[in-house]
Amino acid sequence: MSFNQRETLSIHIGQAGIQIGSELWKLYSIEHGISASGKLENHGDACTETGRNTFFEETNREKFVPRSIFIDTEPSIIDELRRCDYRELYNPNYLFSGKEDSANNFVRGYHTLGRVLIESVNEKIRQIIEHTNNLQGFFLYHSFGGGTGSGFSAKLLETLVDDYPRLTKLQVAIHPAPSISSTIVEPYNSVLTTHSTLDQVDCAFMFDNQAMYDIMRDKVCIEQPTYAHLNRLMSQVLSGITASLRFNGSLNVDLDDFQTNLVPFPRIHFPIASYAPVMNATKETYEPATVSDITQQVFDSSNLMMKCDLTVGKFMACCLLYRGDVVAKDINSAIQSIKNQRMIQFVDWCPTGFKIGNNNKPPVSVPHSELSSCVRGVSMLAATTAIQGVFGALNRKFDMMYHKRAFLHWYLDEGMELYEFDEARTNLAVLEKDYEEVNIDL
């Protein structure tokens, strides 16, 4: 089949988004045979070369640079990127930082500092888009809990919707974990950013640090995983999700296919991700995983990238993206086994619900990584009503603090009004209700 090149633009916002990007572009570069300086190490076949341009831009000097922009309201994390091993890979014109921290405050990222940076950032985005031939959409990487990740992401999405209404907008979001918090006011920031972006994002892939921490500890045998370990795991999942955009395959999934197959209603656009196999690099020789094995594993709650119990909800859609040494016969057999075991339940108005992708490129891992690179792997994106519990837990945390008006003065001092909190919380309550109604049998 011919490989139809359509470019994407990746936008990394705040500390979490930038650190995810650092690991992700390292992995993409290795997969496409690009060195840390951006030079092509091996030319590969024609379809690989074409697919390379989906995420990378080739300069006049035969150097490949990520088609991405990195944004933070303060300079320290961007400075780390400028000093890392892959510093020559990035275009320095698209490493963008302000001078002042958002202080974990949505309003500072959205209004106080956001309005200072937004025009310059939009101009950089326009410059990147001018060098594309057929841009299909945006990937936005950020956290819901931080000040820049929540506030500036919401601000930027508003302008992207106004300027590029027809292009797909996908979030890759770190959602607050159930019992691990990096900042006290995460519930405020998360409710506010979910409310602000709910009508602007086409699809949001959800991750939480606690789920990824447990996977790295229990399956990869790392006693105390760091953020670098978590970002490496997340990169493997995202690489699997985007492989069909970058490499040839017998059943490729386009960017538009994600929202078409995973978003049954516009507001219900929060699929949960899962990946298999996840194992320590020392075990890959001794534990080869069959297609049936890895398919079973992605439906296990211990492999989910969010703390969520799949047994308490129903599936509305499920996208299984295979890569590597996988044939259609084995996929069909594995899915039939899942159906026969009744491991999952679909809503009655969508009884089949499976979307399949099959890509020839096997998974790889970065050098010296603790994660195994196997001959085959699978990423799952599941639209399930089980995520209602995640939003319910977030809303309860918000309510507990808001009832006492705790920490509100930091937001009010930046110009926010109390009614804005009430509006955001009401919208999240309606979102919970949306999932509840979908779960009811006809």
**Contact in structure between 318 and 295 (CB atoms under 8 Å):** no
Give the count of alpha carbons within 13 A of 423, CB side only.
10
Task: At 370, give phi and psi (nearest 5°).
Answer: -80, -15
Distance CA 300, CA 236 (A): 18
Distance CA 13, CA 112 (A): 16
Q: What is the pLDDT of residue 182?
A: 79
Distance CA 232, CA 320 (A): 21
**Contact in structure between 109 and 155 (CB atoms under 8 Å):** yes
Cα torsion 191, 438, 166, 253: sign: positive
Q: What is the pLDDT of residue 285?
A: 55
- The reply to whether omega before 351 is within 30° of 0 (cis) is no
Residues 282/287/289/294 CA torsion (nearest 10 deg): -70
Task: With a cut of 70, list the residues of the chain below it in pLDDT.
Answer: 1-5, 42-50, 284-288, 441-442
Distance CA 213, CA 176 (A): 13
Determine which helix (DSSP H) or strand (DSSP E) holds 431, and give its type and residue range. helix 418-439
Q: What is the pLDDT of residue 4?
A: 54
Both tokens assigned to 400: 């507990």
Q: What is the pLDDT of residue 48?
A: 47
Nearest partner of 172 among 24, 7, 394, 388, judged by Cα: 24
Task: At 139, give phi and psi (nearest 5°).
Answer: -110, 125
* CB atoms inside a 10 Å sphere around CB 290: 14
What is the model's pTM?
Answer: 0.95
Q: What is the pLDDT of residue 286?
A: 54
Nearest partner of 189 among 266, 73, 118, 108, judged by Cα: 108
Structural domains in the chain plus CATH codes? 7-270 (3.40.50.1440), 273-385 (3.30.1330.20), 390-439 (1.10.287.600)
Distance CA 312, CA 398 (A): 23
Distance CA 312, CA 47 (A): 42
Residues 417/207/339/256 CA torsion (nearest 10 deg): 80
> What SS3 state is found at 348?
coil
